[in-house]
Amino acid sequence: MHNDANFLTDNPELYEQQFPDPEHLAARFVLDLLGRHGAGNKLLDVGCGSGRDAGFWSRNGYRVTGIDTSPRMIEYARAQCPDGTFLVDDMREFRLDDVFDAITCLDSAFLYCHTNSELDGFLERCRAQVRPGGLLIAEMRNGAFFLGSRELLDGVRERSVSWNGVDYRSRTRLWIDHAEQLLRRERIWDWPGCGDELTQRSAWRLLFPQELHRILRQAGFEVLAMFDHPGPRTDPAWHPGSPLNTSLTGDRLHLIARRPT
């Protein structure tokens, strides 16, 4: 069975089990970057998912708004982070009655903009919704990593996760669609008694560092830093005060850009 809905984003608790972050590394990493670049405390998290990061920021004195296309994620985020504002909205065309000190876009959410015009639309919206001097912070897969590395492309990765007493198994295959410049994914889920397997497909735009520099500049941002290590999903992972490595050979890319004053 093929299903266009997303099994993980439709089940936020399962999502958090599958991708645990018990020490809130992603949220703390962002606070480190905000501290290094002196942003204010009003944040917009684009593709906020379950609100796990937003909740941490909110508990640490930040005013947080989150948008996501998944109604289930937004519902869950509202429950997890009652002081935040969460809206079902699309990053490619969102329009909010507010301006933020920083916009975050984590765990490759940026790469759901597949086409050039979707990327332009997203960055135009970010520029409009961040104050002059405000920041755009993103963490995503690094397109340059795939130049010469097949590490993530060979074979099928199997993972099991238990949730509500049920053992879910996922088998994931990644491949590159060169013409569209997309990293495509097929993930097949099964669990005891599920009947048909559930097959879900997804894709991320592959962006290269120099390409990102150019589109950010064209969108009216200046790039303050672009680095592959350390981050919340790198090995070794980020820890407070880590130096930033700019070789950009790793599988993750982190960027900090600023709307000029």
Residue recorded with tokens 């609100």: 51
Q: Contact region for ligand SAM (CB under 6 A) — 106-114, 145-153, 170-178, 183-191?
A: 106-114
How far is residue 3's CA from residue 233's CA, in Å, rounded to a whole number?
Answer: 28
Backbone angles phi, psi at 108, to 5 degrees: 70, 10
Decide whether 108 or 209 has the Cβ nearer to ligand SAM. 108
- Judged by CB under 6 A, does residue 109 bind ligand SAM? yes
Considering the rule CB under 6 A, would residue 73 count as an interface residue with ligand SAM? yes
**Do 102 and 258 meet the contact criterion of CB atoms below 8 Å apart?**
no
* Interatomic CA distance for residues 249 and 237, integer angstroms: 16
CA Rg value for the chain: 18
Q: Report the C-alpha gap between 157 and 175 in whole angstroms.
A: 12
Residue 26 near ligand SAM by CB under 6 A:
yes
30 touches ligand SAM (CB under 6 A):
no
Nearest approach, Cβ of 118 to ligand SAM (angstroms)? 8
Q: Which CB sits closer to ligand SAM, 109 or 253?
A: 109
DSSP state of 229: B
By the rule CB under 6 A, 91 interacts with ligand SAM: yes
Q: Which of 25, 34, 106, 137 binds ligand SAM (CB under 6 A)?
A: 106
> Site residues (CB under 6 A) for ligand SAM?
9, 26, 47-49, 52, 67-70, 73, 90-92, 106-109, 112
